[in-house]
Structure 1
Amino acid sequence: MVSLTCLGVLAVTGVALSFWYDPSGDTVDYSGSYPLLRGLPVSRAYASTMHISFDVPGGLLLRQTHHWAALVLPAALILQMLATFFTGAFRDPRRLTWALLVGTFLLVLGAGWSGYALPDDMLAGTGLRIVEGIVLGIPVVGTRASFAFFGGEFPGTALTHMYWLHVAVLPSLVVVVVALRALAALRTPVDASDSRRVPLRVYAVRAAGLSLITTGFLVLLGGLVEVSPVWIYGPASSGHASAGSQPDWYTDFLDGALRLVPSGWEPQVLGHPLSLSVLVPQALVGAFIATILLWPFLEAVATGDRRRHVVLDRPREHPTRTALGVAGLVFFCGLWLAGATDVVTVAFGISFEHQVVALRTLVLLGPLVAFPVTRALCTGLTARELTERAGGIETGVILRDPLGGYTERHGPRPADPPALTGERRDT
């Protein structure tokens, strides 16, 4: 419900912002209320963003609420994916639901990234310059792809392209995918004989309450916590880049992958340079995302389990899957942390080079350590449950026998909690 509420807030605030935003890169002299920029040449996009922030009543609240909703939405989707993965809710008959959930996350990343560039401030300009470098690094088609996207030399007409991606193409795809996911969830078979399922009216009241709380929280963030202060960043300039520039948190892992690859990794192949420092991160992240998307099918092939599962699992019941999930999470977190190395250097004085070495070690060796540790933990918890079922649990009551020895009284183990979905557990 949190993710749906964020989508609703994004739609309402986005439509409102579109009345004043001008997605044009044409240059004008700024004449708004912010005195430090008055008279400077800026793009119409930047000028309209400043106009929304300082001259439209409630405009800054709209902008910041929109931005905060865009930051919270990926977090809600990641939590959904983690819960779905660790409880096995991606298996048949929910494979399509899993694919649509991952697709929603990827579309939201694209929508957030396209919106990140629209203010045309220095931070957005730096991000677009990085994207241009990544696209140019693609063999054979890189130059043509860059010219097609930017409409010629950088920055070209990128703002217009990004605007229509952000307000029309990607939101439409998100709506379609969310609707398909809801339809797939409704058609997923459940145990109709179960009496513990929540009545519709109770679920509706709970969902409405959570939606109102989420909306209020986003509005409070928009009104009280500053985000994207474009007046501080200044207008974008193709000849300048801002130090310490950071993408929004949900794309930080992509930036981190680029930072961890050795610089100058560019061998000559058939007389042409091959930018491995760009291609390797792209391939690595692409393979990681493809593995997540195809995981239901990969697990079914690896385990030979092709049954239909209508009941969720506890993570400890499938130690290998849980260990692989934790290993993947460590890998993701290592890339994500790498995206903030320059900020950590400035804030804490930790050497950039030392951070890169440590994070390379974390990305390469962290998953190898996390896998056996997590698997052993899950196996140990399961073994403990079996022991308690056989001999009972400790009560803390010490008994003395006639010969003077002491033993602890063991009581019956509490009944196992019902299945997570309230349905009968598979046998």
Structure 2
Amino acid sequence: MTAVAPPGKGERLADWFDGRLGTHTLGRKYLRKVFPDHWSFLLGEICLYSFVVLILSGVYLTLFFHPSMNEVTYQGSYLPLNGVRMSEAYASTLDISFDVRGGLLIRQLHHWAALVFVAGMLTHMMRHFFTGSFRKPREVNWLFGWSLLFLGLFEGLFGYSLPDDLLSGTGLRFVNGALLSVPIVGTYLSLFLFGGEFPGDDIVARFYSLHVLLIPGVMAALVVAHVLLVVHHKHTQFAGPGRTERNVVGAPFMPVYLAKAGGFFFLVFGTLCLLAAVATVNPVWAYGPFRADQVSTGAQPDWYLGFAEGLVRVMPGWEINLWGHTLVLGVLIPVVVFPLMLVFIGVYPFLEAWLTGDKREHHLLDRPRNRPVRTAIGASWLSLYLLLLVAGGNDIVATRLHLSINVVTWTLRIGVFVVPAAVFVLTRRICLGLQLRDRERVAHGRETGVIKRLPHGEYVEVHEPLSQAQLHTLTAHERPGELVEREP
């Protein structure tokens, strides 16, 4: 009889954890979870990995940054500012950039990761929007992602303002003016945000608490909830052979997906480090410390807030007087439109479900061409966003292209109304045309380029039947609901 070897230390340790945490059951269930394979699914991973880089680099920066507006006289390595009075926040930012070993690399890594994080979230949500993956049962997860985008915008604003340089101070002056334009409560909103009258002496400390503690904690919780719901609902997938609403076709989490995800994390991390090493971003030493009597020429926010400034720049300077109060409509209307644009993005899944009456669960993704109205709405919104982004730099456009600032501004004002409507009509027609082409391919096959002469003298092109996989891709979609236009 063969003796049974006693369990080793590793087995006993695994049994100990399994008896208390149920690790074997969890591992058996989730380590073999199937992940579909498509390049667009990497967009969400870019968001996650850049968020991890933000946390790591942010922790390093907090070790050297002093969130104080107390004035000091700078005596550091950057000679052009030696002897200049500035806040401790700005002085510590200069120290991080020039005196802390690797400080400039980490600071630029943090800034680049923030830019990529917001860009990744926006692109990730665009992928979900155009493919319809926000539909039941994923509406709540869409709201989680929307909340992350919303918080990411303000997290970037607060972090961008911490160095207390002239450029960030100019941006805060813009924010203060927008808040003061709100009737009745505008003054109170400004006092609450800045801890007193702008500029005050408490801004950096207040923003530091929001940027380092409150908002990152909420965002981390939302990221965890977002990932857990992805696991719970299972992954969406594009239509294809063997793929239905009740299964997922792909590779298991362990070891295939884990190896891909690990490699992709280091690819994202390495790319961000390369950007931080070779591309200067936010050179605060070139702007100087913030002073209330100065302003930066050609000041521009980070790209993800450019559309908010563009809203203000395209508005005429209208003012009206009501009951003894002056309403600055040139600022108030953009302040109202900005959150309404974000709210529309958040509630769209519920709006589409209400308009189409669709209450079913969906796990297969749409091809954008098969939902022409939804695709046209998304393209129209993107065109509006890009126009407002350009409008946020109308002075730079006019200066660089030697144009009149009035011509540029009026062109953008007209474009804000005309271009989105034109893009909507054009995108819808393109989608309907692509649907018609797909039906012709299904009915007649693929063009081969081979010309054949028939016995009676007629010349025709030879068509080759499509494969079963191609036919499945072109035909495995539902009939449009009320929100989608009638087929041509």
Q: What SS does the aligned partner of 1:274 have? A: strand
In the TM superposition, 1:108-127 aligns within 5 A as: 108-127=152-171
Query: In the alignment, does 2:239 pair up with 1:186?
Result: no
Would the aligned equivalents of 1:68 and 1:221 in 2 still touch at CA under 8 Å? yes
Would the aligned equivalents of 1:61 and 1:222 in 2 still touch at CA under 8 Å? yes
Equivalence for 1:240: 294
Amino acid at match of 1:142: G
Query: In the alignment, does 2:89 pair up with 1:45?
Result: yes
CA offset at residue 46 of structure 1?
0.5
| Equivalent of 1:36 in 65, 74, 80 | 80
For residues 53 and 287 of structure 1, the distance between their equivalents in structure 2, rounded to whole angstroms, comes to 39
Q: What SS does the aligned partner of 2:468 have? A: coil
Q: What SS does the aligned partner of 1:112 have? A: helix
| Equivalent of 2:351 in 260, 275, 298 | 298
For residues 163 and 245 of structure 1, the distance between their equivalents in structure 2, rounded to whole angstroms, comes to 23
CA offset at residue 242 of structure 1?
0.6
For residues 359 and 433 of structure 2, the distance between their equivalents in structure 1, rounded to whole angstroms, comes to 27
For residues 388 and 248 of structure 2, the distance between their equivalents in structure 1, rounded to whole angstroms, comes to 45
RMSD between superposed Cα atoms in Å: 1.7
Equivalence for 2:329: 276
- Relative to the length of structure 1, the TM-score reads 0.96
Would the aligned equivalents of 1:311 and 1:426 in 2 still touch at CA under 8 Å? no
Amino acid at match of 1:67: H
For residues 53 and 432 of structure 2, the distance between their equivalents in structure 1, rounded to whole angstroms, comes to 43
For residues 124 and 73 of structure 1, the distance between their equivalents in structure 2, rounded to whole angstroms, comes to 20
Deviation digits for residues 156-214 of structure 1, max 9, x if unmatched? 11111111110011100100111111111111156697473211121111111111011
Deviation digits for residues 74-127 of structure 1, max 9, x if unmatched? 111111011000000000011111111111111111111000100111001101
CA offset at residue 144 of structure 1?
1.8
What stretches of structure 2 of length at least 5 have no aligned partner?
Answer: 1-44, 236-243, 480-488
CA offset at residue 335 of structure 1?
0.9
Amino acid at match of 2:173: R
Would the aligned equivalents of 1:309 and 1:426 in 2 still touch at CA under 8 Å? no
Would the aligned equivalents of 1:93 and 1:309 in 2 still touch at CA under 8 Å? yes
For residues 454 and 63 of structure 2, the distance between their equivalents in structure 1, rounded to whole angstroms, comes to 84
Q: What SS does the aligned partner of 2:107 have? A: helix
For residues 60 and 244 of structure 1, the distance between their equivalents in structure 2, rounded to whole angstroms, comes to 24
Query: In the alignment, does 2:103 pair up with 1:103?
Result: no
Amino acid at match of 1:252: G
Amino acid at match of 1:213: L
| Equivalent of 1:333 in 386, 405, 408 | 386
In the TM superposition, 1:49-128 aligns within 5 A as: 49-128=93-172
Would the aligned equivalents of 1:53 and 1:59 in 2 still touch at CA under 8 Å? yes
For residues 325 and 307 of structure 2, the distance between their equivalents in structure 1, rounded to whole angstroms, comes to 29
Q: What SS does the aligned partner of 1:398 have? A: strand
For residues 195 and 35 of structure 1, the distance between their equivalents in structure 2, rounded to whole angstroms, comes to 61
CA offset at residue 413 of structure 1?
2.6
Amino acid at match of 1:171: P
Equivalence for 1:198: 251
Equivalence for 1:221: 275
CA offset at residue 393 of structure 1?
2.7
Amino acid at match of 1:329: L
Equivalence for 1:165: 210
CA offset at residue 324 of structure 1?
0.9
For residues 441 and 217 of structure 2, the distance between their equivalents in structure 1, rounded to whole angstroms, comes to 53
Deviation digits for residues 317-349 of structure 1, max 9, x if unmatched? 111111111111111111111111122223222
Segment of structure 1 superposing worse, 357-366 or 190-199: 190-199
Deviation digits for residues 241-261 of structure 1, max 9, x if unmatched? 111011011111111111110
Change (3 A) 1:295 1:193: closer
Deviation digits for residues 278-311 of structure 1, max 9, x if unmatched? 1111222222111110000000111111111111
Query: In the alignment, does 2:453 pair up with 1:409?
Result: no
For residues 418 and 78 of structure 1, the distance between their equivalents in structure 2, rounded to whole angstroms, comes to 32
Would the aligned equivalents of 2:442 and 2:471 in 1 still touch at CA under 8 Å? no
Equivalence for 2:189: 145
For residues 245 and 450 of structure 2, the distance between their equivalents in structure 1, rounded to whole angstroms, comes to 44
CA offset at residue 357 of structure 1?
1.3
For residues 194 and 339 of structure 2, the distance between their equivalents in structure 1, rounded to whole angstroms, comes to 23
Would the aligned equivalents of 2:380 and 2:423 in 1 still touch at CA under 8 Å? yes
Amino acid at match of 1:273: T
Would the aligned equivalents of 2:379 and 2:423 in 1 still touch at CA under 8 Å? yes
Would the aligned equivalents of 2:245 and 2:364 in 1 still touch at CA under 8 Å? no
Q: When the two structures are aligned, how many residues end up with a matched partner?
A: 423
CA offset at residue 401 of structure 1?
2.1
| Equivalent of 1:392 in 419, 423, 445 | 445
Q: What SS does the aligned partner of 1:3 have? A: helix
Equivalence for 1:174: 219
Equivalence for 1:12: 56
| Equivalent of 1:26 in 31, 51, 70 | 70
Change (3 A) 1:23 1:105: same
CA offset at residue 154 of structure 1?
1.4
Equivalence for 2:307: 253
Equivalence for 2:198: 154
Q: What SS does the aligned partner of 1:267 have? A: strand
CA offset at residue 352 of structure 1?
1.6
Q: What SS does the aligned partner of 1:296 have? A: helix
Segment of structure 1 superposing worse, 189-198 or 60-69: 189-198
CA offset at residue 29 of structure 1?
0.5
Equivalence for 1:349: 402
Amino acid at match of 1:61: L
Q: What SS does the aligned partner of 1:187 have? A: helix
For residues 320 and 165 of structure 1, the distance between their equivalents in structure 2, rounded to whole angstroms, comes to 40
Equivalence for 1:230: 284
Segment of structure 1 superposing worse, 346-355 or 108-117: 346-355
